[in-house]
C-alpha cells in the first residue's frame, strides 16, 4: 500500500525501515510524549522481525513521508468487529507543527474506511497532549472518555488518557 497526496505519502513499513524505526524508538526525545523518555531500548533486528509479522488482517506499521523522506510512523491494528485502532508519531521535529498530521491521518482513515471496510476507528492520547486532541477533533473524532491514571510511564508517574472514536459519517477528510 502506498497512499499519496501532493508531497506526502503513507506506505507499509518494510524490514529495511527497521534501523530508522529503532533509532526513533530509542530516542527519548521522540518517545517522551508516549511515556518513554528513556526510549524503548530495542534493536533493528527485533523491529525487522516484528514488521515481517505484519498483515492487513492483524496489524500494519506504516512510514509517513515528505518528498520521499521518512518523517515518522503510523500504525493500525484490526481490533475485530469492524474496528481499527490507529496511531501516529511525527518523529522528525522539522516536520512537526506544519498541519501535515491531519493529512496523513486523513489518508489512512479514508483507506481504512473505503479499502479495508472498517466501520469505526479508535485511538487514544495522553490527556496532556492538547495538540493531538485538537487534530483528532478536527478530523471528526468524538471524545468517549478520559481514563484517569491509565498507566505508568518509564519514570513511574501515572498518566491519564483520552479515548476517541470515529465513524465514517463524522469523518472530515483533509486529504482531498
pLDDT for the residue 35:
86
CATH code for the domain in which residue 105 is found: 3.40.630.30
The yes-or-no verdict on residue 14 having pLDDT over 90 is yes
Per the domain annotation, does 135 fall within a domain? no
Per the domain annotation, does 132 fall within a domain? no
- Cell numbers at 158, concatenated: 501515572
Per the domain annotation, does 51 fall within a domain? yes
The yes-or-no verdict on residue 119 having pLDDT over 90 is yes
- The percentage of the chain sitting over the pLDDT mark of 90, rounded to a whole number, equals 97
- Element of type H or E holding 26: helix 18-26
Per the domain annotation, does 167 fall within a domain? no
- Element of type H or E holding 51: helix 44-52
Q: Count of domains in the chain? A: 1
Which stretches within 79-158 are classed as H helix?
A: 100-114, 130-138
Per the domain annotation, does 40 fall within a domain? yes
Per the domain annotation, does 117 fall within a domain? yes
Per the domain annotation, does 74 fall within a domain? yes
Q: Which domain holds residue 106?
A: 2-123
86 contacts 120 by C-beta, under 8 angstroms: no
The yes-or-no verdict on residue 80 having pLDDT over 90 is yes
Per the domain annotation, does 72 fall within a domain? yes
Q: What is the mean pLDDT of residues 137-141?
A: 98
Q: What is the pLDDT of residues 22-59, one digit of tens each?
A: 999 999 999 988 889 999 999 999 999 999 999 999 99
Amino acid at each position: 500500500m502506498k497512499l499519496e497526496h501532493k508531497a506526502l505519502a503513507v506506505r507499509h513499513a518494510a524490514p529495511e525501515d527497521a534501523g530508522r524505526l529503532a533509532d526513533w524508538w530509542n530516542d527519548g526525545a521522540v518517545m517522551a510524549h508516549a511515556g518513554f523518555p528513556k526510549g524503548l531500548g530495542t534493536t533493528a533486528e527485533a523491529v525487522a522481525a516484528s514488521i515481517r509479522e505484519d498483515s492487513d488482517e492483524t496489524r500494519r506499521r506504516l512510514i509517513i513521508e515528505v518528498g520521499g523522506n521518512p518523517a515518522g510512523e503510523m500504525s493500525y491494528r484490526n481490533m475485530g468487529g469492524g474496528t481499527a485502532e490507529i496511531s501516529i508519531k511525527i518523529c522528525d521535529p522539522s516536520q512537526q507543527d506544519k498541519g501535515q498530521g491531519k493529512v496523513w491521518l486523513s489518508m489512512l482513515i479514508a483507506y481504512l474506511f473505503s479499502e479495508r471496510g472498517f466501520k469505526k476507528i479508535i485511538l487514544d492520547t495522553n490527556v496532556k497532549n492538547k495538540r493531538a486532541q485538537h487534530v483528532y477533533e478536527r478530523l471528526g473524532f468524538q471524545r468517549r472518555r478520559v481514563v484517569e491514571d491509565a498507566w505508568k510511564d518509564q519514570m513511574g508517574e501515572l498518566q491519564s488518557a483520552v479515548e476517541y472514536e470515529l465513524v465514517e459519517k463524522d469523518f472530515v477528510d483533509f486529504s482531498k
